[in-house]
Each structure stands twice: as structure tokens, then as C-alpha cells.
């Protein structure tokens, strides 16, 4: 059984789709939901699926506490689904080509520092872009610059607001993220 951990800081709608996707799988299991926010809604979602949770502070993560937990649980893959802290290099190096992130835009556009959540959709709107989308990529030491595994696009109309753009992007994320993760795990 391949063991996956999901790191999330917020609502966790992607985490929920991933947990639902792998429920009953004979190939892989979501073994841990880890968050830097004890009151993040993703924790409720984890309970609903009976997935163990782990919370930690930024300081603890930087001191290696999260890495130790992932190793103790024998985690094979780390999935970042709305995780907002910068991952320590030591942790990235412990999962070479085994750490995946989803970014709510078509990288390399709208990536890098400060480009997360609503900031991304506001920037897309302000630029007047006619499309946006999702990027699923491996994580390396350079934020949002790891190898791109998958992208999908959606149209942006002049009527769209940052909120409606966010909804369109979430729809794509929910549709594709679980199956792209599964394809990465091999057969």
C-alpha cells in the first residue's frame, strides 16, 4: 500500500476529493492530514473520513518535527493541497520527486511569492486574461518551479469576478487532482 500524506492550511476541499478518491483503494491510502492550523476546516473533513490528523507550528516544521512525523508514519508521497507555509529544504529533499503541489493558475504565470489563493485570481482579473487554470507540479527547492505534471485551462470572461474565477479553478482542481495523483503513483 502506498501511503500519502496531505498538507493543507485551509478549507481542504481538494483534500476531501482526494480522500474520497482513494477510499477503498487497494493501491494507496491517505494516511495523514497534516496542518499548521488546528482550526482549519480540513481537520473536520479528515475526521469524517477517519484519517488521522497532525498539527504543527511553523517553528516545529522548521525544526524537523513534521519530517520526523512523516518518516515515523512511513509516508511515501506528500501532497500539498492549499498549504501556505514555505516547506523547509530538508523536507523537500526527503521526498525527491515524491512531493506534489497544486497551484490555482497556469504556471509560470501567476506563480512565486505572494501568489496564493485570492491574490492569484485577482491578478488574473486585473490583467484581463481570457483564460486561467490549474497546474499540478513536483515541488523542488524553488517555489512553484518544479516539473509540471499537468495543466488544465478554463475561460475567463469580462463578467467574471475573482470569486467566480476561483470557483471555476476549484472545479478543475476537484475534477483532476485526485486522478493526476493516482497516475503519478504508477500501476
Please report whether residue 55 would count as binding ligand GRF according to CB under 6 A.
no
**Nearest-approach distance from CB 136 to ligand GRF, in angstroms:** 9
Candidates 13-21, 22-30, 61-69, 153-161; binding stretch for ligand GRF (CB under 6 A):
13-21
> Which of 81, 95, 112 shows the shortest CA–CA distance to 9?
81
Spatial separation of the C-alpha atoms in residues 127 and 109, rounded to whole Å? 11
Q: Which is nearer to ligand GRF, 12 or 98 (CB)?
A: 12
Contacting residue, 5, 6, 7, 12, with ligand GRF by CB under 6 A: 12
The conformation of residue 185, written as its DSSP 8-state character, comes to T
Beta-strand runs (E) in the chain: 2-7, 28-35, 53-55, 77-80, 99-103, 131-138, 148-155
Span 132-171, contacts to ligand GRF by CB under 6 A: 169-170
Q: Which is nearer to ligand GRF, 18 or 28 (CB)?
A: 18
Which of 103, 121, 137, 170 is an active site residue?
103
The cell for 14 is 481538494
Q: Which residue is nearest to ligand GRF (CB)?
A: 82
Please report whether residue 104 would count as binding ligand GRF according to CB under 6 A.
yes
Grid cell 500500500 in the structure block, residue: 1
Determine whether 103 is an active site residue.
Answer: yes
**Nearest-approach distance from CB 116 to ligand GRF, in angstroms:** 6
> Which of 179, 185, 183 shows the shortest CA–CA distance to 1?
185
Spatial separation of the C-alpha atoms in residues 68 and 66, rounded to whole Å? 5
Span 64-103, contacts to ligand GRF by CB under 6 A: 81-82, 102-103
Give the total of residues touching ligand GRF (CB under 6 A): 16
Please report whether residue 35 would count as binding ligand GRF according to CB under 6 A.
no
Pairing of strands 131-138, 99-103: antiparallel
Query: How many CA atoms does the CB half-sphere of 67 hold within 13 Å?
Result: 14
Spatial separation of the C-alpha atoms in residues 82 and 49, rounded to whole Å? 19
Residues carrying an active site annotation: 103
Residues contributing to the site for ligand GRF (CB under 6 A): 8, 10-15, 81-82, 102-104, 117, 169-170, 173
Amino acid at each position: 500500500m502506498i501511503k500519502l500524506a496531505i498538507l493543507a492550511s485551509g478549507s481542504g476541499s481538494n483534500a476531501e476529493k482526494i480522500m474520497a478518491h482513494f477510499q477503498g483503494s487497494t493501491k494507496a491510502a491517505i494516511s495523514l492530514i497534516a496542518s499548521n492550523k488546528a482550526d482549519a476546516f480540513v481537520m473536520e473533513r479528515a475526521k469524517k473520513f477517519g484519517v488521522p490528523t497532525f498539527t504543527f507550528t511553523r517553528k516545529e516544521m522548521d525544526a524537523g518535527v513534521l519530517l520526523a512525523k512523516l518518516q515515523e508514519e512511513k509516508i511515501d508521497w506528500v501532497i500539498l493541497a492549499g498549504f501556505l507555509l514555505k516547506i523547509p529544504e530538508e523536507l523537500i529533499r526527503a521526498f525527491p520527486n515524491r512531493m506534489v503541489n497544486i497551484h490555482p493558475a497556469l504556471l509560470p504565470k501567476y506563480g512565486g511569492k505572494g501568489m496564493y489563493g485570492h491574490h492569484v485570481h485577482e491578478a488574473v482579473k486585473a490583467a484581463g486574461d481570457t483564460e486561467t487554470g490549474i497546474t499540478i507540479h513536483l515541488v523542488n527547492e524553488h517555489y512553484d518551479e518544479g516539473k509540471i505534471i499537468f495543466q488544465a485551462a478554463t475561460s475567463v470572461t469580462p463578467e467574471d469576478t475573482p470569486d467566480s474565477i476561483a470557483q471555476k479553478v476549484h472545479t478543475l482542481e476537484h475534477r483532476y487532482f485526485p486522478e493526476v495523483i493516482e497516475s503519478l503513483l504508477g500501476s
